[in-house]
A = this chain, B = another copy of it.
């Protein structure tokens, strides 16, 4: 889609497309979150789901890290579980308990009864929030939309809540694979359509989160997660905006994820060294996003800088979007988050072995 307002900072989009960039762009997963006092102030007045459903509040916290931390992209504030909710799964979110579906999905009849999602009518509040943020950003940085991938949403819907092992959801894969496939099939369509609607509402990139990919062994990942992630990703890609596929805990599958999804970029979690991720992806023309361990931000600032620079050098200057390898933790100080972002933005590539490579690709003429 064409955007009325040109971007002042399009580093993020260019890095996703593996175009030369003057410096590596950076944002943080969960950057609109509890580590910011300004976020907690908004949150004090509204519960989490109300914030998701109120475009003005969602927009306000989405914009906070742009102003306060200086990241190179905004990601709309929302939750991956809004899709199952729109399909008819009643969602609760009690303080200290986390999101729950009081009536988990366990049968073919329940899957059949799930509604087809019309994003415009069912998830209009998030589309409104995207429009509002887009207007207020006014071209400062690109805006990312997102959705949970089908396996991750299905595992929540079957469990009814977050767990360590997802044994109930996995039990369905082994005991009732046909029911699982029917559920995943519905979810792939809903997620894909939702991504398309987000782009129509102004999202300039889409990230798909297969957050519970790591709960699956290779065989089940290939049967129950990857094909549905790929379907949703392809629907998102059909809009023309870049798509990031992130499946934490499945580093062994980075190559398969790249091939199946044809995503522009692959999210890399903190469990794997950047060099190992690159080796796994081989010479595939795909960007990478990641992957500093969020706990690194507990370290003193000079150590954060050192680790961030090591990470940048390891990924190299092309086709890399700097990020954490998981969401920022709620008890990180904003000063440390800022130190990470600034360490990326101020990194002097000219000192490194990558500099020549970059200069060549930028077509430096003198």
**A271's closest neighbor in chain B, by CB?**
B217
CB of A217 within 8 A of CB of B325, answer yes
- Checking B167, B249, B293 against A295 with a beta-carbon cut-off of 8 angstroms, the contacting residue is B167
Say whether A170 contacts B217, CB under 8 Å. no
> Among the listed stretches A44-52, A58-66, A232-240, A296-304, which one makes contact with chain B, having 4 or more residues with CB under 8 Å of it?
A296-304
Residues in chain B near residue A303, CB distance under 8 A: 174
A252-B251, A252-B272, A276-B252 known; A299+B218 contact, CB < 8 A: no
In the complex, what distance in Å separates the CA atom of A329 from the CA atom of B307?
39
A151 adjacent to chain B (CB < 8 Å): no
Interface string of A270-290 (1 = CB under 8 A from B): 111100100000000000000
A298 and B218 contact, CB distance less than 8 A? no
Do the beta carbons of A272 and B218 come within 8 Å of each other?
yes
Main secondary structure of the interface of A (DSSP, over half): helix
Q: Which of A152-206 contact B (CB under 8 A)?
A: 164-165, 167, 170-171, 173-175
Size of interface on A: residues with Cβ below 8 Å to B: 32
Number of copies: 2
Chain B contacts of A300 at CB under 8 A?
175
Encoded as 1 (CB less than 8 Å from any B CB) or 0, chain A from 198 to 222 comes to: 0000000000000000100111100
- Is A271 a contact of B214 with CB atoms below 8 Å? yes
With A165-B329, A167-B331 given, name 9 new contacts (CB 8 A). Answer: A167-B329, A170-B293, A170-B295, A174-B295, A175-B300, A217-B270, A217-B325, A218-B272, A252-B271
Residues of B within 8 A of A298 (CB): 170-171, 174-175
**A202 → chain B closest CB, angstroms:** 33
Please indicate the chain B residues that have their CB under 8 angstroms from the CB of A325 in the complex: 217
* Chain A 8-43 interface 0/1 with B at a Cβ cutoff of 8 Å (1 = within): 000000000000000000000000000000000000
| Cβ contact within 8 Å between B167 and A273 | no
The residue in chain B whose Cβ has the minimal distance to the Cβ of A331 is: B167
* Highest count of chain B CB atoms <10 Å: which of A174, A175, A272, A303: A174
**Contact across chains for A174 and B271 when beta carbons are under 8 A apart:** no
* Interface-central residue, A170, A214, A251, by most chain B CB under 10 Å: A170
Which residues of chain B have C-beta atoms less than 8 A from A252's C-beta? 251, 271-273, 276
* Complex: A252 Cα to B274 Cα, angstroms: 12
Find chain B residues with CB under 8 A from A299 CB.
174-175
A174 contacts B296, C-beta separation under 8 Å: yes
CA distance in complex: A154, B88 (Å): 44
Name the 3 nearest CB pairs between A and B, nearest first. A170-B295, A174-B299, A174-B298
- Roughly how many angstroms separate A121 CA and B252 CA in the complex, as a whole number? 45
* A295 vs B171: C-alpha distance when bound (angstroms): 6
A329 to B171, CA, bound (A): 11
How far is B296's CA from A173's CA once the two chains are assembled, in angstroms?
9
